[in-house]
Amino acid sequence: MNPLLEALWYILPAYFANASPVIFKGKTPMDFGKKFKDGRRILGDGKTWRGFFGGLLAGTLVAVIQYYLTPNFYGSLAMALKLGFALSLGALLGDLIGSFIKRRVGMPRGYPAVGLDQWGFIITALLLAYPIKALSTGQVLFLLVVTPFIHWGANIFAYKMGWKSVPW
Ligand SMILES: CC(C)=CCC/C(C)=C/CC/C(C)=C/CC/C(C)=C/COC[C@@H](COP(=O)(O)O)OC/C=C(\C)CC/C=C(\C)CC/C=C(\C)CCC=C(C)C
Ligand SMILES: Nc1ccn([C@@H]2O[C@H](COP(=O)(O)OP(=O)(O)OP(=O)(O)O)[C@@H](O)[C@H]2O)c(=O)n1
Ligand SMILES: [Mg+2]
């Protein structure tokens, strides 16, 4: 498989894990509305438990589907589950870290943090998945370059579908 397509195929669970909370979002904020010692919300209302677990499940499921489509890419179902879960957890944790940072610097919920919104989730997803199945440096660089565009396209798509109130 072309190494660049292989990189996209590899990262797909993280993409779906990052995108699906927009659809699965729930009511209970992950910080339960609590504030940090700086008087601002810890994470904000943009992070709900249902979104988090929905994203984790969706991302892991995508890897299982990918396993049945390209079994030799993963080698085993167990590997697909491990990699899918690690990529999804990494993506969602990266998104939480991004929200935490945005709240600390006083950005309101939904405020665009260029760079952080596009790379945060990808970097943590790649870090968590690295020990399970590593990509080449070139493939990682390719993903860092192409993800902002896919992120941009997906957010506009979600905005047009009415899933997001902002196209970013
Ligand atoms: C403009 C360019 C160059 C590409 C555009 C690609 C595009 C239009 C993708 C849309 C894919 C899609 C159908 C998305 C689902 C809709 C959805 C729920 C989007 C919600 O996005 C919200 C956002 C979360 O916000 P936050 O980041 O601020 O927390 O998540 C951003 C989403 C992503 C970063 C990834 C979205 C991509 C997918 C869900 C899978 C699509 C896969 C590809 C485009 C790569 C194809 C791979 C192969 C190997 C064929
Ligand atoms: N763990 C998560 C992540 C996202 N979402 C949902 O997906 C939407 C888009 O995610 P994102 O853009 O990351 O959240 P923002 O609203 O921009 O909040 P923040 O400023 O904290 O990023 C959120 O509004 C929220 O409805 C969720 O419910 N749970
Ligand atoms: Mg956002």
What ipTM did this prediction achieve? Answer: 0.88
**Residue 126 CA to ligand 1 centre (angstroms):** 17
**Domain extents in the chain:** 3-160
Closest ligand to C-alpha of residue 107 is 2
Q: What percent of the chain has pLDDT over 70?
A: 100
- Give residue-wise pLDDT tens across range 59-90: 999 999 999 999 999 999 999 999 999 999 99
Average pLDDT, stretch 78-104? 98
Mean pLDDT of 116-140: 97
User: What mean pLDDT is predicted for residues 112-117?
Assistant: 94
State whether the Cα torsion 80-81-83-89 is positive or negative.
Answer: positive
Nearest CA to ligand 1 atom 35: 15
Average pLDDT over residues 109-119: 94
> Has residue 168 got a pLDDT over 90?
no
Pocket of ligand 2 (CB under 6 A): 21-22, 25, 44, 46-48, 51-52, 92, 95, 99, 102, 109-111
